[in-house]
Structure 1
Amino acid sequence: MTQGAAVELSVDEKYNLISRNLEEVVGENEIKAVLAERSVKIYWGTATTGKPHIAYFVPMSKIADFLRAGCEVQILFADLHACLDNMKAPWELINYRVEYYRECITGMLESIGVPLDKLSFVKGTDYQLSKEYTLDAYKLSTIVTEKDAKKAGAEVVKQSDSAPLSGLIYPGLQALDEEYLKVDVQFGGVDQRKIFMYARENLPKLGYAKRSHLMNPMVPGLTGTKMSSSEADSKIDLLDAPSAIKKKLKKAFCEEGNIENNGPLSFTKHVLFGCHGQFEVLRKEEWGGNKIYKEFQELEDDFKNKEVHPGDLKNSVGAAIDRLLAPIIKKFESEELKKLAESAYPVEKVTKVKKEKKKHNIRPEGVEAKPKQKQQAKPAEPEKPADISRLQMKVGKIIKCEKHPDADALYLEEIECGEEKPRQVISGLVKFVPLEEMQNRMVVILCNLKPAKMRGILSEAMVMCASTADKVEILSPPEGAVPGDLVTVAGFEGEPDAIIKPSSKNKVSAFEQVAPDLKTNDALEATYKGVTWEVKGKGAIKAQSLQNVQIK
C-alpha cells in the first residue's frame, strides 16, 4: 500500500487499521474525532537499554499500520528514562545506544516495507531537561502521591524494598511526554496501562489535554514466558545467524495441539501475520505439502486439531524470521555499524594477570624440601533428575482472600499449610474464580518456588490449577486431607529442592522442565507423566471438570 492510498481510506478504515490486533483501546471516540479532521499524531517510546530483539517487531508491525493509515508517528528514544530505571543504561553509553536503536528500528521498518515519510525520531533529553519540562515535573510532584506514583510504575519500573526515588519520577515523565510531543495518542504494551491511566488522570490537572491510548498484548517468548533481553533462549537477536535461530526455535515450547503459551504460534500471530498479512507452513508433500494461511485463526485451529505439526511450524517460523532479518543483518555488515554496536554494548575483556613468582629462600645444607601435597578436587554434586520429586507440594487452606490492592486481575491470599504461620500467596484467578468461592477453600500449593514480588507484594507459593485458554479450575485435595499434608507421586519419591530458582540465561528451572508433563487425565486426576498425584492414604488430587489439560 502506498502512502497516497492511505489518504483515500475512510475514517472507519483508518481506525480499523490503527486498532487491529490490540489488547485495548482507551479513547476510541477521541481518536475517530481527530481522524475526521486530520492525521492522528501517535508516539511510541522505548527505553534505550538492552539490545533490541525480534520481539520489537510486535510494536513495529503496529507502527507500520499507523503509517499506512496516514498517521504521523514519533518514536521516542527514552534515554533519560533508561538511566532512571535502576540505571539500566550508564550515562556514558546513552548516545551510542540511541543511535543503535535508531538503526535497528529503521532496518526493521524497511524490512517490513512500510513508507517512512511520516516517521520521525526524538530523544528524551532533547526536551526533558528544559526549564519548562522540569517545572511541570515539579508541579506534577505536588499533586500526586507516593502511592499513586509507585502503583503507576509497578509493572514497568523495577520494584525493591529500597527502590531508587527515580522509579517514582518515571511515570510522571512519561505522562508529560504526551504534552511535550504534542500527540493525540500514546502507544505501548498493556503492561503500561497504569502509567497511561495515570497520565489521563493527572495531565488535565496541569491544564493539558487528556490523550488516548493504544495497547499491544504481551507476547510470550519462545520458551513460553515474556520475551526478554535478559533471557537468551527466550529471544532472537536481530543479528542472529540462521543456525542460532534454528537452535533457539528447537528449544521453544510448542507442544502438539497445545495453543497455550506457545511461543512460535504467538510470534506468528503478532509478528509474521502483522508484517505480511499471511503465513506459509512449509512441509513435505507426504504430510500435506506447503500451505499458505491468510487468517491466523485458521492456522491456530489446524495446529489445535494436530493438522500442523510442531516441527513444521518451527521450521516455517524459522524460515520466515530468516527472511525478515536478512536485510537488517546485511545493513549491519558495514564497518560503521559494527563499530557502533561495539560502542553501544562493549564487551568486557578479561585479561589474565600473571602471578609473580615466589622468591625461594635458600635451604640450609642437608635440609630436604618438603614435597608439595596435591589438593584433591572437591567432587561435584550430582545433578538432580528433572522430575516432580524436586517440587514440594502441600495441601493448604485459604483462610483469607482479597483483591490485590494494585492489580485488578490478582487475588492476595493467606494460606494455612501446616507451618508456623500462613503463607502469603498471589494468584491471577480474579477472572476465573469468584471471591466468595476463594474463602476457606482447600487447595494444593507449590511451596518451594523462590518467593517473588508481584506488583510490589511478595508471593510465597503458587496455587496449582488446571487450565485452558478460557477456563481455570483450582485443584482440589481429597476428602479428609488437612493443611500440611504432602502431595506425592508414586515412583518419583525424593528430596525436593530447598528453593526452585527461576530460569536463568544458562539454565531452565526445575519447574519449567517438569511443567509440560503436569496434566489432568480422563478421570480429572492431576498427573505427572500419567502417574496420579495423591495424598497418601487419602486419595487423588482432582480438577472439577477439566480433562486432559495442562496444570499450571
Structure 2
Amino acid sequence: MCAKPLTPEEKYNLISRNLQEVLGEDKIKSVLKERDLKVYWGTATTGKPHVAYFVPMSKIADFLRAGAEVTILFADLHAYLDNMKAPWDLLALRVEYYEHSIKAMLKSIGVPLEKLKFVKGTEYELSKEYTLDVYRLTSVVTEHDAKKAGAEVVKQVEHPLLSGLLYPGLQALDEEYLKVDAQFGGVDQRKIFTFAEKYLPQLGYAKRAHLMNPMVPGLTGSKMSSSEEDSKIDLLDSPANVKKKLKKAFCEPGNIENNGVLSFVKHVVFPLLNESEGFVIKRSAEFGGDISFENFDALEQAFAKEEVHPGDLKAAVEIQINRLLAPIIKEFETPELKKLAQKAYPAPSKQKAGNQSGTDELTPSKLDIRVGKIVEVSRHPDADALYVEKIDLGEEQPRTIVSGLVNFVPIEEMQNRMVVVLCNLKAAKMRGVESQGMVLCASVDEPKQVEPLCPPEGAVAGERVFVENYEGGSPDVVLNPKKKVWEKLQVDLKTNGDRVAQWQGNNLLTKSGGTIRSKTMTGAPIK
C-alpha cells in the first residue's frame, strides 16, 4: 500500500521543524506548490566529524522525507581558506574520510543514499567561470562586509588573511553553482546567509532561502567542537568512551539551559524515533520504574521539575548513541578505512628534546611562554588605554611590557598579579615605550571583554608554559615576524568550556602540571 503523498504544507512543516530560523519562508512555500525543494548543506572538511553531526543529518532526513533534492557539499577549498585549518596535502584524504563517515551516519539512521548527491567543492570552484565570479564579487564586496559575514565561522585574528575574507563569498556563490533553492546550516552562519542574500542579486543571481539549525551545546555546556576532546563524542568512540564522556557531561539537575545531553535528545533522538516509539528512561522500581516520553516537551518539563535524574537521562542517551554508532564503527573496522583515518588525522607526535627550533615545522613549542609576576605598574604617559608593567620573568631584570588593559582591569588588581607572558615576540614600541613581550588574555570583541590568563596556584615567576603533547624542543629566540609564526599559531589558541587555555584541544600546562585558565571566559580566543 502506497503512502499518501504529502501536501505542500506538510512538506514545509517537515522541512522547518526544530529549526531556529527560516529566511525566505514565502519563497520555499511558493516552490513547494510547484515542485520539490532543492537544498544543500555544506561541511568544511577540517576536524573529525563527531556525534553532533547527527543534528544536521536528522534534518537532512526530514528534507528527504519531504521529497527534497539534497546536495551535500564537502567544502575542501573552504577548509583550506579558513586560516589553513586543513593542510592542502591532507584535504583529499579528509574529504574521503568525511564521505565515508557521513554516508555511514545516514545509513545508521535509515536514510536512502540514492536520494542524495555528494559534491566536492574543488570539482567546480576551480573552474574558469567560478573564478571569474569570485573576481566579480570582490569588485562589489567591502572588507567590512566580508569580515562581518565570517565573524562566527572563520577564525578571527587582528590582521586577517585575505583567504578568510574570501570564504563567505565562496559560500554564497556555491548556492548558484549548485543550482539550489535553499541552503541549510547552523544559526552561526546567519551572517554568511544574509551576505549571500545581499550580494548574489548584485551579480544577477537569484536570492536563495536559508534554513538554520540552532547551535547545539557540547557535553561541557559550550559549543560542541572537533578540537575540544571532552565536548564531543567521536563517531568511532567505543561504548566505554561514550560512557566516560557522558559521565563528565554537564547535566545539572533541573537545568535545561546549555544542556548538551537534553539538546541531543531534542535534535537527534526524537526526530529519528518511529511514530510508535517513545523515548524510554530505565529506572529501578524504587525510583518509580521505567518511564517513556512521546515528545521532547514532556521530557524537558519532567527534567525541569527534577522528576528525571541526570544519571538516568544520561544512561538512556548512552543507549541511543551506542545504537547510532554501532554500524559506523563496524564499517570502519576494515583495514582500508582504519588506514584512511590514520592518514587523514595523524596523531600529534611528541617532539623529541633534541629537536631544535631551526626546523620549519610550525608547532607551539616555538613559543616562549612563561609565568610572570607584575612587580610594578603605571599608566602609559601618552596612551589612556595602556598600562606599562615591569614583569618578573625569572630573568636578571624585570621586563617592560605594555598592555591594553586599562579599561578591563583596575590598576590596583594589576600590582603583584601573576600573569602568562609570551616572551619571544620581536620588541615593539607602543606610543614611544618599548614592549618586550605580551600578556596573554582571553578576549572577545562583541561585547568587548579582555581577561588576563591565570597561572595555576603555586606557579612561580619564570616557570615555562608549554602545550600538552608538544613538550619537547626549544622555543625560537625571537619569532620571525615575516613568517607570521605567532599569527598562525594564535588562531588555534582558545579557552574551552571549562575555561582551560588550549591549543588545538591540547591544554597549556606549567612544568608542575597545572593548567592555565581564564577566570570566567569560555570559548574565547587567546591573544
Task: Output the TM-score relative to the length of structure 1.
Answer: 0.67
Counterpart of 1:230? 227
Counterpart of 1:471? none
Which one-letter code corresponds to 1:251 in the other structure? Answer: K
Q: Does 1:319 align with 2:316?
A: no
Q: Does 1:247 align with 2:235?
A: no
> Could you tell me how far 1:274 is from its partner in structure 2?
2.3
Q: Report the Cα distance in structure 1 between the residues aligned to 2:270 and 2:325, rounded to whole angstroms.
A: 15
Could you give the per-residue CA deviations for residues 509-536 of structure 1, whole angstroms, max 9, x where no partner exists? 7678999xxxxxxxxxxxxxxxxxxxxx
CA RMSD across the alignment: 3.2
Could you give the per-residue CA deviations for residues 17-40 of structure 1, whole angstroms, max 9, x where no partner exists? 000000100001100111111110
Counterpart of 1:162? 159
Q: Does 1:460 align with 2:450?
A: yes
Q: Report the Cα distance in structure 1 between the residues aligned to 2:156 and 2:450, rounded to whole angstroms.
A: 17
Counterpart of 1:144? 141
Equivalent runs, 1:251-400 vs 2, <5 Å = 251-276=248-273, 278-349=278-349
Q: Report the Cα distance in structure 1 between the residues aligned to 2:220 and 2:337, rounded to whole angstroms.
A: 30
Larger Rg: 1
Distance 1:416 1:136, change over 3 A: closer
> Could you tell me how far 1:285 is from its partner in structure 2?
2.0
Could you give the per-residue CA deviations for residues 220-251 of structure 1, whole angstroms, max 9, x where no partner exists? 00010000011100000000000001111111
Q: Report the Cα distance in structure 2 between the residues aligned to 1:452 and 1:354, rounded to whole angstroms.
A: 35
Counterpart of 1:189? 186
Which one-letter code corresponds to 1:122 in the other structure? Answer: V
Distance 1:307 1:419, change over 3 A: same
Q: Report the Cα distance in structure 2 between the residues aligned to 1:172 and 1:420, rounded to whole angstroms.
A: 47
Q: 1:206 aligns with which of 192, 203, 207?
A: 203
Secondary structure at the counterpart of residue 106 of structure 2: helix
Task: Tell me: higher relative CO, structure 1 or 2? Use CA pairs within 8 A at least 6 residues apart.
Answer: 2
Distance 1:349 1:420, change over 3 A: closer
Distance 1:141 1:513, change over 3 A: closer
Which one-letter code corresponds to 1:38 in the other structure? Answer: R
Distance 1:222 1:497, change over 3 A: farther
Which one-letter code corresponds to 1:451 in the other structure? Answer: A
Gaps of 5+ in 1: 356-380, 382-413, 422-447, 463-493, 516-552
Partners of 1:68 and 1:114 within 8 A in 2: no
Which one-letter code corresponds to 1:257 in the other structure? Answer: G
Q: Does 1:27 align with 2:24?
A: yes
Counterpart of 2:79? 82
Counterpart of 2:92? 95
Partners of 1:17 and 1:65 within 8 A in 2: yes
Which one-letter code corresponds to 1:316 in the other structure? Answer: A
Partners of 1:451 and 1:458 within 8 A in 2: no
Which one-letter code corresponds to 2:294 in the other structure? Answer: K
Q: Report the Cα distance in structure 2 between the residues aligned to 1:291 and 1:183, rounded to whole angstroms.
A: 43
Counterpart of 1:112? 109
Partners of 2:442 and 2:521 within 8 A in 1: no
Of residues 161-170 and 215-224 in structure 1, the stretch that sits farther from structure 2 once superposed is: 161-170
Of residues 181-190 and 268-277 in structure 1, the stretch that sits farther from structure 2 once superposed is: 268-277
Q: Report the Cα distance in structure 2 between the residues aligned to 1:416 and 1:161, rounded to whole angstroms.
A: 19
Partners of 1:44 and 1:76 within 8 A in 2: yes
Distance 1:495 1:260, change over 3 A: farther
Q: 2:215 aligns with which of 208, 215, 218?
A: 218
Secondary structure at the counterpart of residue 219 of structure 2: coil
Q: Report the Cα distance in structure 1 between the residues aligned to 2:220 and 2:129, rounded to whole angstroms.
A: 45
Distance 1:250 1:506, change over 3 A: farther
Gaps of 5+ in 2: 356-370, 372-405, 414-438, 466-493, 508-514, 523-527
Counterpart of 1:451? 442
Partners of 1:112 and 1:276 within 8 A in 2: no
Which one-letter code corresponds to 1:311 in the other structure? Answer: G
Which one-letter code corresponds to 2:155 in the other structure? Answer: K
Q: Report the Cα distance in structure 2 between the residues aligned to 1:513 and 1:88, rounded to whole angstroms.
A: 27
Could you give the per-residue CA deviations for residues 426-483 of structure 1, whole angstroms, max 9, x where no partner exists? xxxxxxxxxxxxxxxxxxxxxx99431235x752259xxxxxxxxxxxxxxxxxxxxx
Secondary structure at the counterpart of residue 215 of structure 2: coil
Distance 1:280 1:150, change over 3 A: same
Could you give the per-residue CA deviations for residues 61-119 of structure 1, whole angstroms, max 9, x where no partner exists? 10010011110000000000000001111111111111110111111111111222220
Q: Report the Cα distance in structure 2 between the residues aligned to 1:417 and 1:329, rounded to whole angstroms.
A: 50
The share of aligned pairs that are identical, in percent, is 63
Q: Report the Cα distance in structure 2 between the residues aligned to 1:310 and 1:155, rounded to whole angstroms.
A: 31
Partners of 1:67 and 1:116 within 8 A in 2: no
Distance 1:342 1:150, change over 3 A: same
Secondary structure at the counterpart of residue 9 of structure 1: coil
Of residues 53-62 and 330-339 in structure 1, the stretch that sits farther from structure 2 once superposed is: 330-339
Equivalent runs, 1:413-428 vs 2, <5 Å = 418-419=410-411
Counterpart of 2:56? 59
Secondary structure at the counterpart of residue 22 of structure 1: coil
Distance 1:95 1:127, change over 3 A: same
> Could you tell me how far 1:182 is from its partner in structure 2?
0.2
Q: Report the Cα distance in structure 2 between the residues aligned to 1:272 and 1:264, rounded to whole angstroms.
A: 11
Q: 2:66 aligns with which of 69, 84, 87?
A: 69
Partners of 2:185 and 2:211 within 8 A in 1: yes
Counterpart of 1:547? none
Which one-letter code corresponds to 2:445 in the other structure? Answer: M
Partners of 2:408 and 2:451 within 8 A in 1: no
Q: Report the Cα distance in structure 2 between the residues aligned to 1:253 and 1:167, rounded to whole angstroms.
A: 33
Secondary structure at the counterpart of residue 155 of structure 1: coil
Q: Report the Cα distance in structure 1 between the residues aligned to 2:86 and 2:259, rounded to whole angstroms.
A: 31
Which one-letter code corresponds to 2:298 in the other structure? Answer: E
Equivalent runs, 1:7-18 vs 2, <5 Å = 8-18=5-15
Q: Report the Cα distance in structure 1 between the residues aligned to 2:250 and 2:210, rounded to whole angstroms.
A: 32
Counterpart of 2:468? none
Distance 1:353 1:133, change over 3 A: same
Secondary structure at the counterpart of residue 188 of structure 1: strand
Which one-letter code corresponds to 1:53 in the other structure? Answer: H
Partners of 2:408 and 2:449 within 8 A in 1: no
Which one-letter code corresponds to 2:158 in the other structure? Answer: D
> Could you tell me how far 1:329 is from its partner in structure 2?
0.5
